[in-house]
Chain A
């Protein structure tokens, strides 16, 4: 009887300990798995696209550039080849524009530590940070804001060693099934711009310019591309990227 009672007590205590351990550990195990799974789901969606070409309108917003809206063609081919081409005019293409292709982030998922940061308050997007394992990698940190329901990256921040931080914001529509955005906002760091007046011989119209020495220095530039259509997985010749 005492033995039976002892057994019951021991069993109950063991069960309680296991339950407690499960309660304490399970959510964190679940969370880690989900972040990884989520990344795999997003990657699987993006992997459906081997190549594409898309028509779009590109708007450049840099403090020292006045540029018209350009009709551009964007070409992509796996693994990380991207070209923005203005066939009827001139467009200033920012450095790091290859990052508008989200596949670029996942070229080597093995090379990253995945950190789940939780959810963004306003949007409820899952925030996941990718830290490269290679200390010499150009990318220092990528932060992804993922729409869990649709397995789509809505926002991405990539910090690089040489070229500052790139930010991407995506709006999805018809091509969401392929993880391809209808509209992309790409922000990048711009360096200061100035040419000697002895070269430009500017016309001074006498109007007072805004006196702000930082105006032209280290500001964020923005490029907005609104896609009108995509041609997906129909092949893109290599000659386009030369």
Chain B
């Protein structure tokens, strides 16, 4: 099985289109970094406009605010919404691509069960997803830390501001990237499931993106009828829970408690929901695939 996994990974990383995703991430990250390096103060002014009546913001303050940790947060905020497309490119192609090329039946002549075959295929998609996130972490986090330096992290929420000491930030990023890996694996599992039904890869990729877009819109809209009924069950509502690692607890006087997370049970619940989604998508894909009449 390990050999098969290596073959699958070889196939994925041999294809030039695999690197489109890596290139796209690098382009977006560099563009954001360049923009914020040369015109970051305008961006900070926009964000702090609401507070300028109550606080003094010197150029030095703005420079400190715009540190590597904040840049990485801005990048994650922008990019993690777009990344499902990049993940779906590979996962949606997993089975449907083989069917399209007419190699699926041939692959299944090997002495392994269909379940093992699915495990290997899905495993390769997950490794690709992780590789994409590691690439993003290197560019967005470590790249920004080198270019902009480090300082306290200030996270602007819709109704409040969270500030963390510089030494209390890095572990949150590791946790957030770990969470993002699970979140993107959910998308990968969905694309993988849809891939089982299709004979070419475009269908599952577009279908996955359509589902993610519709669900994301529903998750971000604040309409009470959806808030209580649909929203808690959409996986897209839980995909943004990586931000929960950057929401901190404070004492009665508003002083940040170092190393704390505002609502860890909620983040873990969201993580659990995503894992359930992955399990359901993957087991459904295996179940369908085992029953499927492979003709190509």
Contact = CB atoms under 8 A, between A and B. Distances in A.
Interface of A: 59-69, 88-90, 92-95, 97, 188-207, 209, 216, 221
B55 A195 contact: no
A205 B163 contact: no
Given A199-B158, A205-B270, 16 more contacts: A60-B255, A61-B253, A62-B54, A65-B160, A90-B152, A92-B55, A93-B61, A95-B54, A95-B55, A190-B54, A191-B53, A197-B158, A202-B157, A204-B231, A205-B241, A206-B266
Nearest to B256: A68
B254 A194 contact: no
A88 B161 CA distance: 19
A63 B159 CA distance: 10
Contacts of A95: 53-56
Given A64-B160, A66-B162, A90 B65 contact: yes
A95 B250 CA distance: 23
A69 to B, nearest CB: 6
Nearest to B239: A203
B159 A66 contact: no
A193 B256 CA distance: 19
A88 B151 CA distance: 8
Contacts of A201: 77, 81, 220, 240, 243
Interface of B: 47, 50-51, 53-56, 61, 64-65, 77, 81, 151-152, 154, 156-166, 220, 222, 231-232, 237, 240-244, 247-248, 250, 253-256, 258, 262-263, 266-267, 270
B199 to A, nearest CB: 36
A32 B240 CA distance: 66
A200 B156 contact: yes
A94 B240 contact: no
B28 to A, nearest CB: 16
Contacts of B232: 206
B56 A89 contact: no
Contacts of B243: 201-203
Contacts of A66: 160-163, 248, 250, 254-256
Q: Is the interface of B mostly helix, strand, loop or mixed?
A: mixed
Contacts of B262: 205
A90 B254 contact: no
B283 to A, nearest CB: 26
Which of A59, A63, A206, A216 gathers most chain B CB within 10 Å?
A206
A205 B64 CA distance: 30
A195 B54 contact: no
A94 B151 CA distance: 20
Contacts of B242: 203
Nearest to A60: B254
B158 A189 contact: no
B50 A204 contact: no
A61 B244 contact: no
Contact of B158 (A61, A191, A194): A194
Contact of A207 (B61, B154, B241, B266): B266
Nearest to A59: B255
8 contacts: A59-B253, A61-B255, A65-B161, A191-B50, A195-B159, A197-B158, A200-B156, A205-B263
Contacts of A191: 50-51, 53-54
Nearest to A207: B263
Nearest to B263: A205
Nearest to A96: B56
Given A190-B54, A205-B244, A67 B159 contact: no
Contacts of A59: 253, 255
B244 A68 contact: no
Given A63-B254, A95-B53, A203-B241, A68 B164 contact: yes
A4 to B, nearest CB: 79
Contacts of B247: 203, 205
A193 B159 contact: yes
Contacts of A93: 55-56, 61
Contacts of B51: 92, 191, 193
Contacts of B165: 68, 89
A124 to B, nearest CB: 29
A194 B157 CA distance: 8
Contact of A68 (B77, B151, B152): B152
A209 B61 CA distance: 31
Nearest to A193: B50
A188 B54 contact: yes
A197 B160 contact: no
Contacts of B55: 92-95
A205 B222 CA distance: 14
Contact of A195 (B157, B240, B250): B157
B157 A200 contact: yes
Nearest to B50: A193
Nearest to B64: A90
Contact of B163 (A90, A189, A207): A90
A90 B54 contact: no
